[in-house]
Chains A and B, each alone.
Chain A
């Protein structure tokens, strides 16, 4: 049983469907990952089952803040799955090491970390955590461009929105990995993700979002996992 399409509907569909497909394709995001290793990967660099990692956000800059939810996202992704590693949550770590890992007091390079562990109280705490890698993440996600408008109206007969809005998001993050066992810099990983989101509104707004931060997070977590395992 087939029903004939109403005259005029087919040409409209032919126009709408490719436009929607183009929008959906456009609202994806692209990620570029760069990796630098201080030394070639060897089994000596692989994290052991009983060792842990802490992911920390750099928050000493005044112009931006490395988002807490991004740090949590990388930590969750790194600890999940069959290849998951033991990740100490950022807040738990920073609280347990107070006051040495606050925004204004945290070691800025691995040499400062070396000086810090000369303090027996700190060395004991870190030893209890069986920590192998410190991963410092610096960066943020921002909206770089936006255009279009959506107007919504409500009347006695109902309401609706009309219009079109679009914006570009850009995520830039850099992870610096310190090997606590060797008290040395292991390497750096940077992730640059950008994407465009669209919201066409014909009565109902339909958000077609490029999940830029989420893509940066998953790409970064995957590369960190490969780096330390």
Chain B
């Protein structure tokens, strides 16, 4: 190494080598856990509501990443942003006759929408088998769903909690177990949104009001 470096640059080279070695050692000592999940949700069996629904994903929703750095969870970094958008892209077209992505919680000029739906991530919690003394990896994801009129006035907002669990199994790694639990939680959120949308009191009132207007217009 000394020969390769040459006499003049030996000192500099030694510094670089020592720094690199120290870096490698430190990297070896530091643990981190990175996970990217990508849940696949089936197409729902639904009767579509006769609505053109705008959907607005704000930056926080698009880029939310679960991060934790504690003694038990060193540098945890779990990114399920791809599944998040994909989930809504998969289920909303089954719920509404037309879905259109919009750029805010009120419609811009040219947006022909009946309402705007905006999902937000509120919280994500994970549990490992050793923490709960069970045989399960578990995930809870809480969203807030807001529904706005095209002018930006809030129609309704409600929480949506998805829960998923996966057996520890003999060969199931932490990544695989958590991935599977998060996928299940996403699937649960999709199920609760599709089934629960029209059951929300404020949404039902709004839908009834629209039906009355629709029937009055059709009758006149």
**Is chain B a partner of chain A in the same complex?**
yes
Q: Which residues of A contact B (CB under 8 A)?
A: 59, 63, 65, 67-68, 95-100, 102-105, 119-122, 125
User: Given known contacts A99-B190, A104-B192, is B45 in contact with A122 (CB within 8 Å)?
Assistant: yes
User: Contacts A119-B47, A121-B47 given: A98-B192 contact, CB under 8 Å?
Assistant: no
B57-74 Cβ-contact flags toward A at 8 Å (1 or 0): 000000000000000000
CB-CB nearest 8 A-B residue pairs: A99-B191, A98-B42, A95-B42, A102-B191, A105-B191, A121-B45, A99-B194, A121-B47
Please, which residues of chain A bring their CB within 8 A of the CB of B43?
98
Q: Number of residue pairs across A and B with beta carbons under 8 Å?
A: 51
Task: Assess whether B46 is interfacial by the CB under 8 Å rule.
Answer: yes
A172 to B96, CA, bound (A): 44
- Is B107 part of the contact surface with A, judged by Cβ < 8 Å? no
Given A99-B195, A103-B184, A119-B47; 6 other pairs, CB 8 A cutoff: A98-B41, A98-B44, A98-B190, A102-B191, A103-B163, A104-B188
Q: How far is the CA of A15 from the CA of B145 in the complex (A)?
A: 72
Which B residues are in CB contact (< 8 Å) with A96? 42, 45
Query: With an 8 A cutoff between CB atoms, is B84 at the interface?
Result: no
Can you report 22 residue pairs joining A to B where beta carbons are below 8 Å apart?
A63-B134, A65-B136, A65-B165, A67-B167, A68-B167, A96-B42, A96-B45, A97-B45, A98-B41, A98-B43, A99-B192, A100-B45, A102-B187, A102-B191, A103-B163, A103-B184, A104-B163, A104-B188, A104-B191, A121-B45, A121-B46, A121-B47
Bound-state CA distance A98–B184 (Å) is 12
Chain A's closest residue to B167 (CB) is: A65
Residues of A within 8 A of B184 (CB): 103
B188 lies within 8 A of A103 (CB): yes
Chain A residues whose CB sits within 8 angstroms of the CB of B134 once the complex forms: 63
Chain B: CB-nearest residue to A61: B165
Nearest A-chain residue to B190, judged by Cβ: A99
**Which positions in B face A, CB cutoff 8 Å?**
41-47, 134-136, 163, 165, 167, 184, 187-188, 190-192, 194-195
Residue of A nearest to B138 (CB): A62
Give complex CA distance A99, B44 in Å: 6
Indicate if the CB atoms of B165 and A98 lie closer than 8 Å.
no
Contacts of A121 in B (CB 8 A): 45-47
**Cross-chain contact A120 with B47 (CB below 8 angstroms):** yes
Q: Is there contact, CB below 8 Å, between B45 and A98? A: yes
What are the residues of chain B within 8 A of A100 when measuring CB–CB? 45, 191, 195
CB-CB nearest in chain A for B184:
A103
Q: Which residues of A contact B44 (CB under 8 A)?
A: 98-99
Q: Chain A residues near B194: list those with CB within 8 A.
A: 99
Whole-angstrom CA separation of A98 from B136 in the bound complex: 24
Query: A99 contacts which chain B residues (CB < 8 A)?
Result: 44-45, 187, 190-192, 194-195
Complex alpha-carbon distance, A95 and B195, angstroms: 15
- Bound complex: CA of A44 vs CA of B201, how far in Å? 44
Q: Which residue of B lies closest to A94 (CB)?
A: B42
Contacts of A63 in B (CB 8 A): 134
Contact of B192 among A59, A97, A105, A120 (CB under 8 A): A105
**Chain B residues closer than 8 Å to A97, beta-carbon distance:** 45
Cα A95 to Cα B191 in complex, Å, equals 11
Q: Which residues of B contact A65 (CB under 8 A)?
A: 135-136, 165, 167
Q: Which of B136, B163, B187, B192 has most A Cβ within 10 Å?
A: B187
Shortest Cβ distance from A62 into B: residue: B165
Assembly CA distance A103 to B166 (angstroms): 12
Residue in B41, B135, B167, B195 whose CB lies within 8 Å of A105: B195
Cβ–Cβ < 8 Å partners of B190 in chain A: 98-99
A95 CA to B190 CA in the complex, in Å? 13
